[in-house]
Amino acid sequence: MIKNIVMTAVVAALLVSCTGNRPEKTDERNISEGEEVSVEETSGGDLFLLAGTYTSNEGSKGIFVYRFDTDTGDSDAISMIEVENPSYLTPSPDKRFIYAVSENDGTNSAVHAFSFDKRNGKMKLINSKPVNSSAPCYITVDGKGKNVHTANYGGGSIASFQVKEDGTLTSAIVLKHFKGSGPDSVRQESAHLHSVRYSPDGQYLFAADLGSDKLYRFNVNDTPFEGQPGLLDSSMKEFLIPAGTGPRHFDFHPDGGKYLYLLGELSGEVIVFDYSFGELIQKQVIAADTTGARGSADIHVSPDGRFLYASNRLQADGIAIFSINSNDGTLVKAGYQLTGKHPRNFVISPNGKFLLVAARDDNKIQVFRIDDETGLLTDTHKDISLGKPVCLKFAGNAVNR
């Protein structure tokens, strides 16, 4: 177990008053160790919001849990747990467990399994395993909650783990290394795996390599015996991406996944593919960043499949907004929303009403309301103060104790 992990149960006294008014929003500075409160049900769609952070700088200690009202955009701080540099995390399909990376060097990088109690919004560390590769920056779990994979940026690799019945992780079953480079001699000097995601049908795992301008695809062994890999290595296929793109994150269209949208960190472009049974056909390239900042970051399609959003950093930090053609999945630029500094990651509420931005260098999570007709964003000014937020995930409905 990684010795730097110290589990702390921490919460804020945020009880809803008898009049039904919500308490004022709090941040991590209001949370103190050793306190416990119940998470009471309120009207509207209340979800747990998880926030991963960088802890190497001042301002944060680990993963924070909030209660987010998807009808009003209000939020309350619930708990936190200390873990080093949890830069990316993902809930299990049933939301009983949370898996997170520690984005450190090769000797200290790790993956962690936490239990998640939906009665009180508290996490508990259940085990940790070394990744054996540098800078894990993305983590995903399959639809059955049986296999976990990390994309390791510094090591240019994918690490794969099996999940036991109690949610704990085995040691790494596979550490798949990649080779290659791109035209940018500084940022593409070698392979840099930046994301791994399953196809909507669960039959394939895709991996984006920023360093070599490739998207990899693996067939999935969805019922492996203990100790067997969840990926079929011999099935690997390479999809070449235009040179200098720097593939970072990608998302599938919610309508059966028939389109794949890939964001290039270096090119600042979104590449649109037709997707069918593991195959990709490129059909459009459109700019998300028009400043040439070479810092595009995250990409998500709205739950109704009508809009696409892509974040850009380093210059004109903000979110590019596109409308999606319902006939062929192609994009038309609809607008641009400036945000706080360094929007590394963002998340859209399941009801499609809000888009939350992790503005890393402004130490806050911004809450934007989505116009359901145009897809444009309006700042609600209901910021959540948090040191170095870099990953946001929803983890199901908040329930009574």
Domain residue extents for the chain: 10-397
Walk along the chain (401 residues) in steps of 10 and give the mean pLDDT of each run. 42 34 40 38 72 87 97 97 98 97 93 96 98 97 96 97 96 95 98 98 96 97 73 91 98 97 98 97 98 98 98 98 98 98 98 98 98 98 98 86 40
Residue 383: both structure tokens together:
């910021």
pLDDT value of residue 24: 36
pTM above 0.85, yes or no: yes
Mention the CATH class of domain 10-397. mainly beta
Cα angle 362, 368, 369 (rounded to 5 degrees) comes to 175
pLDDT value of residue 232: 83
